[in-house]
């Protein structure tokens, strides 16, 4: 495959390309739309050239460009807890692990009131700066070119996250979490009132818009943490604030992650009728809304979400880690809901969207073995008792196979899907002409390049049990088709395979 590709250093967009499209039918959908090509890149990362020519690479290098990953749901301040969750489930986990770590991003609580003085500008604990710096570097190193971040309730730290994303060059949506419900949020970590919550949110929006007035890289996103953490007035004011902008502001929250949480929401908002309906009442279900998890939605809720064109962030690593359940992604796609992937650090243990894509495949393969699947199948099944059991079993198996997500589908959700979730489907997630060069260069191992065994005594009679390839964990044997290389990457790849990362044509990470 020969090819060349031009990215304008002026605006970081793809200006022209000329390559032989990969023509394998199975990958046609992913590749012709996602357009990955095996060509090398010669971008200097300095933006000094007006036009950068990207020259052909050899297939032997086992390198290919892939659209940068889009993490549609990640909690930046929870990064210190990545991998720490014990056997907890959502509500206990929030209390034990999450609120304590997030509260550390503000100042000490006022001894008199017990509330954090979080509305003062200019005070960010050093640890918060360091952690935010780390999480941005780490996600970039995994190929995440765009992330939708939940921050904390604190204005200075949230502003610092936005400023750091800009400095690193990572495309980002930054949300100050709103949590003003005294019946749910701990006193040491909550907004003083709905009014305070709105004022603080506006302050972070003002900062973000001051550092990136055109929103070319960093954008605000309204972030009612989830229904239980917010009072009605807070939800109402956020819905109104979103709608007051043109185009409306982005919104992100959680929905139906855990069965106890769903029960809690039904108790707290009995008038709404469902979890999704709570958000809808306050105009928070919009085409620019990202709903994380969506493990336990009813059929009606899915229909409502589809009708409003709200988006879903699928977070399978988190859903398994916290024992939340398996989100029925195929059923979202069936009704036309747009889906992207999220790491949900630190409900999710890994900052890698490749891991999220892998877990997407795995979780979908387990779905057919769940009670929820069985119920759904029985509901939609026309057969009556006594009818051909064999036929019914066959249909059950077919349905279990149908809900599985393939490698190309998972990678699609990680790129094109995520792009649509953040309402940037025309800008990022693929290699269409005019799209932004938000790209990772992936390099896989090659058997030819295996290093000499350090234990080799020169006589050839010492053999290591494991001789790692030169690049990461993906060993190739020279027999793989490109499709198989990508499959191996999905199942065994990690950040060692991410050789370089660009956002809008700017080099933002490179492996040394
Ligand atoms: N629901 C409310 N807050 C959170 C959070 O921080 N993480 C997850 N996974 N779910 C939540
Ligand atoms: Fe989350």
Residue whose CA lies nearest to ligand 1 atom number 11 = 254
Ligand nearest to the CA of 181: 1
CB 442 within 8 A of CB 64: yes
Distance CA 132, CA 429 (A): 24
DSSP 245: S
Task: Please work out, in degrees rounded to the nearest 5, the angle formed at the alpha carbon of residue 131 by the alpha carbons of 130 and 137.
Answer: 90
For the beta sheet containing 14-19, the strands, ordered from the edge strand earlier in sequence to the opposite edge, are 14-19, 3-8, 51-54
Choose among 253, 256, 412: nearest CA to 341. Answer: 412
47 and 147 assigned to the same domain: no
503 bridge partner residues:
506
Choose among 157, 149, 154: nearest CA to 346. Answer: 149
Task: Supply the angle between the helices 155-168 and 194-211 in degrees, to the nearest 10.
Answer: 20
State the CB neighbour count (10 A cutoff) for residue 246: 6
What stretches of 309-443 show up as alpha helix (H) in DSSP?
Answer: 316-321, 329-334, 353-366, 371-379, 389-402, 407-412, 418-421
* 326's tokens: 């398996």
Quote the ligand 1 centre to 153 CA distance (angstroms): 14
Give Cα 439 to chain centroid, integer Å.
16
Choose among 109, 155, 149: nearest CA to 132. Answer: 149
Residue 451 backbone dihedrals phi, psi, to 5 degrees: -70, 160
Flag whether the ipTM exceeds 0.85.
yes
Query: Could you tell me if residue 268 is inside a domain?
Result: yes
Task: Supply the angle between the helices 482-492 and 353-366 in degrees, to the nearest 10.
Answer: 90
Quote the ligand 2 centre to 254 CA distance (angstroms): 6
360 bridge partner residues:
none
Quote the ligand 2 centre to 125 CA distance (angstroms): 23
Which of the listed residues 81, 347, 350 should we mutate to test ligand 1's pocket, taking the one with most ligand atoms within 8 A of CB?
A: 347
127 and 60 assigned to the same domain: no
Distance CA 318, CA 326 (A): 10
What stretches of 368-457 show up as alpha helix (H) in DSSP?
Answer: 371-379, 389-402, 407-412, 418-421
Which of the listed residues 89, 186, 252, 254 should we mutate to test ligand 1's pocket, taking the one with most ligand atoms within 8 A of CB?
A: 254
Ligand nearest to the CA of 323: 1
154 and 61 assigned to the same domain: no
Residues whose Cβ atom is located within 5 A of ion ligand 2: 344
Query: Could you tell me if residue 224 is inside a domain?
Result: yes
State the CB neighbour count (10 A cutoff) for residue 445: 23
Q: Is there a cis peptide before residue 247, judged by omega within 30 degrees of 0?
A: yes
Residue 40 vs residues 58, 66, 418, 447, 486: alpha-carbon distances, Å: 8, 12, 25, 20, 17
CB 442 within 8 A of CB 482: no
What CATH number does residue 248 fall under? 3.20.20.140
Residue whose CA lies nearest to ligand 1 atom number 9 = 347
Residue whose CA lies nearest to ligand 1 atom number 7 = 347
297 and 345 assigned to the same domain: yes
Q: Which atom of ligand 1 is nearest to the CA of 90?
A: 10
pLDDT for the residue numbered 511 = 82
DSSP 447: G
23 and 123 assigned to the same domain: no
For the beta sheet containing 506-510, the strands, ordered from the edge strand earlier in sequence to the opposite edge, are 63-67, 439-443, 498-503, 506-510
199 and 129 assigned to the same domain: yes
Residue 55 backbone dihedrals phi, psi, to 5 degrees: -100, 165
Quote the ligand 1 centre to 28 CA distance (angstroms): 37
How many residues appear in the chain? 512
What stretches of 151-284 show up as alpha helix (H) in DSSP?
Answer: 155-168, 194-211, 232-243, 259-268, 275-281
Q: Which atom of ligand 1 is nearest to the CA of 102?
A: 6
Query: Could you tell me if residue 441 is inside a domain?
Result: yes
Q: Which of 363, 393, 421 is the last residue of a domain?
A: 421
Query: Could you tell me if residue 35 is inside a domain?
Result: yes
Q: How many domains does the chain have?
A: 2
* DSSP string computed for 70-107: EEEEEEGGGGGGTT--TT--HHHHIIIIIHHHHHTTS-
Per residue in 259-296, is it b (16+ CB within 10 Å) or e — as a string? eebbebbeebbeebebbbbbbbbbbbbbebbbbbbbbb
226 and 122 assigned to the same domain: yes
Among positive and negative, which fits the CA dihedral 343, 348, 351, 355?
A: negative
Choose among 227, 490, 485, 240: nearest CA to 354. Answer: 490
Residue 256 vs residues 259, 288, 299, 301, 322: alpha-carbon distances, Å: 7, 19, 13, 10, 13
197 and 90 assigned to the same domain: yes
The pTM for the full model equals 0.90
Q: Which atom of ligand 1 is nearest to the CA of 344?
A: 9
pLDDT for the residue numbered 24 = 30
Q: Which atom of ligand 1 is nearest to the CA of 98?
A: 6
Query: Could you tell me if residue 150 is inside a domain?
Result: yes
Q: Which atom of ligand 1 is nearest to the CA of 78?
A: 6
Quote the ligand 1 centre to 293 CA distance (angstroms): 9
Choose among 140, 26, 45, 38: nearest CA to 431. Answer: 38
Quote the ligand 1 centre to 108 CA distance (angstroms): 23
pLDDT 10s per residue in the chain (512 long)? Answer: 344 566 776 788 887 665 443 333 333 333 333 333 333 333 444 433 333 333 333 345 677 778 899 999 999 999 999 999 999 999 999 999 999 999 999 876 777 777 765 545 557 888 899 999 999 999 999 999 999 999 999 999 999 999 999 999 999 999 999 999 999 999 999 999 999 999 999 999 999 999 999 999 999 999 999 999 999 999 999 999 999 999 999 999 999 999 999 999 999 999 999 999 999 999 999 999 999 999 999 999 999 999 999 999 999 999 999 999 999 999 999 999 999 999 999 999 999 999 999 999 999 999 999 999 999 999 887 666 666 889 999 999 999 999 999 998 999 999 999 999 999 999 999 887 888 989 888 888 875 545 555 555 566 555 544 555 567 889 888 788 778 888 999 999 999 999 889 899 888 998 86
Quote the ligand 2 centre to 117 CA distance (angstroms): 25
Query: Could you tell me if residue 228 is inside a domain?
Result: yes
Q: 252 is in which domain, residue-wise? A: 69-372+406-421
Query: Could you tell me if residue 401 is inside a domain?
Result: no
Ligand nearest to the CA of 255: 1
44 and 134 assigned to the same domain: no
Instruction: Give the HSE-up count for residue 107: Cα atoms under 13 Å, Cβ half-sphere.
Output: 15
81 and 61 assigned to the same domain: no
Quote the ligand 1 centre to 203 CA distance (angstroms): 23
Q: Which atom of ligand 1 is nearest to the CA of 324?
A: 9
Query: Could you tell me if residue 130 is inside a domain?
Result: yes
Q: Which of 386, 421, 456 is the last residue of a domain?
A: 421
Kindly list the protein residues whose Cβ atom lies closer than 6 A to any atom of ligand 1.
75, 90, 94, 98, 225-226, 254, 257, 318, 344, 347
Q: Which residues contact 444 (CB under 8 A, 6 or more apart)?
A: 62, 63, 471, 472, 474, 476, 485, 488, 489, 493, 497
248 and 323 assigned to the same domain: yes
What CATH number does residue 41 fall under? 2.30.40
128 and 166 assigned to the same domain: yes
């Amino acid at each position: 495959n020969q090819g060349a590709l031009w990215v304008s250093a002026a605006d970081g967009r793809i200006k022209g390309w000329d390559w032989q499209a990969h023509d394998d039918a199975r990958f046609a959908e992913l590749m012709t739309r996602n357009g990955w090509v095996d060509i090398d890149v010669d971008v200097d990362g300095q933006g000094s050239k007006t036009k950068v020519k990207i020259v052909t690479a050899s297939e032997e290098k086992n390198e290919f460009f892939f659209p940068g990953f889009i993490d549609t749901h990640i909690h930046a301040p929870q990064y210190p807890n990545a991998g720490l969750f014990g056997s907890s489930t959502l509500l206990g986990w929030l209390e034990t692990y999450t609120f304590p770590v997030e509260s550390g991003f503000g100042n000490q609580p006022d001894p008199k009131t017990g509330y954090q003085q979080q509305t003062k500008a200019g005070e960010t604990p050093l640890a918060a700066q360091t952690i935010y710096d780390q999480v941005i570097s780490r996600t970039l190193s995994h190929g995440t070119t765009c992330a939708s971040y939940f921050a904390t309730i604190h204005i200075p730290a949230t502003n610092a996250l936005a400023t750091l994303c800009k400095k690193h060059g990572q495309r980002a949506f930054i949300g100050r979490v709103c949590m003003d419900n005294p019946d749910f949020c701990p006193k040491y970590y909550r907004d003083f009132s709905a009014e305070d919550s709105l004022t603080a949110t506006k302050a972070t929006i003002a900062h973000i818009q001051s550092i990136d007035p055109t929103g070319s890289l960093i954008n605000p996103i309204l972030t009612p943490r989830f229904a239980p953490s917010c009072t009605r007035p807070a939800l109402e004011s956020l819905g109104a604030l979103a709608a007051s902008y043109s185009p409306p502001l982005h919104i992100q929250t959680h929905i139906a992650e855990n069965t106890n949480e769903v029960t809690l929401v039904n108790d707290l908002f009995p008038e709404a009728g469902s979890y999704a309906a709570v958000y809808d009442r306050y105009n928070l279900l919009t085409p620019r809304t990202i709903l994380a998890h969506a493990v336990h939605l009813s059929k009606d809720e899915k229909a409502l979400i589809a009708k409003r064109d709200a988006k879903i962030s699928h977070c399978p690593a988190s859903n398994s880690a916290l024992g939340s359940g398996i989100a029925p992604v195929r059923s979202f796609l069936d009704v036309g809901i747009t889906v992207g992937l999220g790491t949900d650090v630190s409900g999710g243990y890994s900052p890698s969207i490749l891991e999220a894509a892998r877990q997407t495949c795995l979780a979908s393969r387990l779905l057919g073995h769940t009670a929820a699947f069985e119920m759904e199948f029985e509901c939609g099944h026309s057969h009556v008792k006594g009818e051909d059991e064999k036929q019914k079993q066959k249909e059950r198996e077919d349905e279990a196979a149908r809900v599985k997500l393939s490698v190309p589908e998972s990678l699609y959700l990680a790129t094109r899907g995520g792009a649509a979730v953040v309402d940037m489907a025309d800008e990022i997630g693929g290699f269409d002409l005019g799209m932004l060069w938000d790209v990772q260069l992936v390099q896989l191992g090659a058997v030819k390049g295996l290093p000499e065994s350090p234990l080799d005594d020169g006589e050839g009679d010492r053999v290591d049990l494991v001789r790692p390839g030169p690049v990461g964990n993906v060993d190739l044997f020279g027999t793989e088709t490109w499709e198989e290389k990508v499959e191996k990457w999905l199942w065994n790849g990690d950040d060692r395979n991410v050789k370089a990362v660009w956002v809008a044509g700017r080099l933002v990470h490179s492996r040394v």
